[in-house]
Chains A and B, each alone.
Chain A
Amino acid sequence: MLQSPILEIQNLSLSYDHTCIGNDISFALNTGEVLGIAGESGCGKSTLLKAIIDPAGYGVQISEGTIKYKGKEMADLSVKARCRMRGAEIGMVLQNPFAAFNPIRSYQKQFKETLKSHNQWRGKASVAEILELFKQLGLSGGKRILSSCPYEMSGGMNQRISIALSILLQPSLLLADEPTSALDATLQFQVVEQLRRLREISDISMILVSHNLFVIAEICDKTAIMHEGQIVEYGNTQEILLNPSHSYTRSLLKAVPKLHGTWLGCIHQEVAPKKE
């Protein structure tokens, strides 16, 4: 039996303060699938995530098209219903690892606050659940983590804990907006590992936005390449990365530095620098 997609976007056009950011965007995400969206800054990928989770709050206007979550049209939902969905149905991980937390309050207090606001706090039972979640995600020393404050932790650790927080309420969909871009190389690796482990322990669906195709290739089943508000290539990750058909995809691939490579002035060869 074919499962209906958890998220369906059809012919979506987005604008931000009357400037068109996204045009004719269409894709579908099945349960348990991970979609990667790659593109440079300003191509509209973050705006797309904002449009999914809370367009009104971010000032994004949907001029055309539909967003359907679990078969229901999102535009039809009331403000309250949307609010309830955030966290419980759709979780989000942000680029800045320190943005998800109040730096001077302990993690335990903040986790408690999140659970309480969704009426799911059950005292010691909840703490035990959180520690179990940490263990599953490979975060050692759970008790020590809970009693620490965000400012004491590194960016990578914070990002891993914010991933844990975002799946605490067991959402069906996780949106990750450039979760590795603000981190050092070794920490990026840890976060990617974290997301991979997350796939192993649950059937959560994910949309991962990044400008680094290699990060996307590690975790995503499908990839969409965005350029100037449009999806220029979409399909199976392996196929796109091994046989890119669009010139922009090729330039994105060439732009990521390889460990055993030499810089060949790659951008000049594929996409000539635009006179801006």
Chain B
Amino acid sequence: MSNTEVLLEVSEIAKRFHQKNDVVDALKPLSFSLSQRENLGIIGESGSGKSTLLKLLIGLISPTSGQVKLLGNDITGLRGKSARDIYRNMQMVFQNPSGSFNPRKKLRSSILENMRQLCPVSSTAEYDYEIDRFLEKVGISPELADRYPHNLSGGQCQRIAIVRALLVKPKILLCDEITSALDVIAQARVIDLLLEMGRELEIAILFVTHDLSLASNFCENMIVLHQGGCVEAGNTSELICNPIHSYTKQLIKSFIEPLTSLEQKNTVLI
């Protein structure tokens, strides 16, 4: 492995919710690290704790125990103004494309608002220039940004959400099931964009999903979560070829890939 900077260090982070007479371990103690330009996949189904993990990392909720270090600084449980420094270095894209934008604001206004706060430039013209340039890169014509979220398709909204996150020039991008609400073509476009931008801007991507095959296509390392706990972690190809835990095996088994069986049935060579 090349000498890349360790951006994020997570030690024994956990979250426990107290509900009436019940104690729910949404996330059991978990440790891992994220380096520059690394793509890390977090796989799990609903209720596995993966969304809780992202919210803990970015500071939207406070952990019950454990520590998060961003670029060497302890950011565990930071709130208010001091949390702004986290957001300059770490941004997040959410699952519901149009839901992550204020329905009463035009998209451009939403993007501008974040830029002004976290990555200000000198003039309005420069803001517009930066936004338009980025939009062109992702294949969206600038005039679409002057519309409301509900006027655009899910795929378009999601790409604009990525633009909004990346314009702040973070070092880490957290993706919370960003393609689960999209069809395969829109999903493919979003992943294309993510990887291209990731390479260009040299950012680390933490990709949370329930789709093992999707994450396995571009994440070098993976962590598998099940019912709040990490069941397996490591290099992607190792994990897929030699899964150890039964849940990982179940995930791999449930992947629907009929083409190989179809090909086996069909003796005609393509």
Contacts and interface: CB of A to CB of B under 8 A. Distances in A.
> Do A and B assemble together?
yes
B183 interface: yes
Interface stretch (A56-64, A67-75, A167-175, A252-260): A252-260
Contact of A185 (B185, B192, B255): B255
Contacts of B214: 257
Contacts of A256: 184
Interface string A229-273: 000000000100111000000011011111111110111100001
Determine chain B's interface SS by DSSP, over half rule.
helix
Interface string B36-60: 0000000001100000000000000
A258 B257 contact: yes
Interface stretch (A107-115, A126-134, A141-149, A213-221): A213-221
Contact of A276 (B144, B191, B253): B144
A184 B46 contact: yes
Contact of A259 (B46, B182, B216, B258): B216
A263 B183 CA distance: 17
Contact of B250 (A186, A214, A238, A262): A186
Contact of A40 (B185, B250, B251): B185
Contacts of A186: 45, 210, 250-251, 254
A257 B46 contact: no
A34 B48 CA distance: 35
B184 A252 contact: yes
Interface residues of A, number: 45
A65 interface: no
A276 B157 CA distance: 12
Contacts, number: 125
A124 interface: no
A187 B45 contact: yes
Contacts of B251: 185-186
Contact of B213 (A181, A218, A258): A258
Contacts of B266: 238, 242
Interface residues of B, number: 46
Given A42-B153, A238-B262, A255-B184, A189 B254 contact: yes
A181 B154 CA distance: 14
A267 B192 contact: yes
Interface in B153-193: 153-156, 182-189, 191-192
A188 B254 contact: yes
A259 B191 contact: no
B213 A41 contact: no
A188 B251 CA distance: 11
B141 interface: yes
B265 interface: yes
Interface in A13-59: 40-42
A267 B189 contact: yes
B212 interface: yes
B125 interface: no
15 contacts: A40-B184, A41-B155, A41-B183, A184-B46, A185-B45, A185-B255, A186-B210, A188-B254, A192-B256, A213-B184, A241-B262, A252-B185, A255-B184, A259-B213, A266-B188
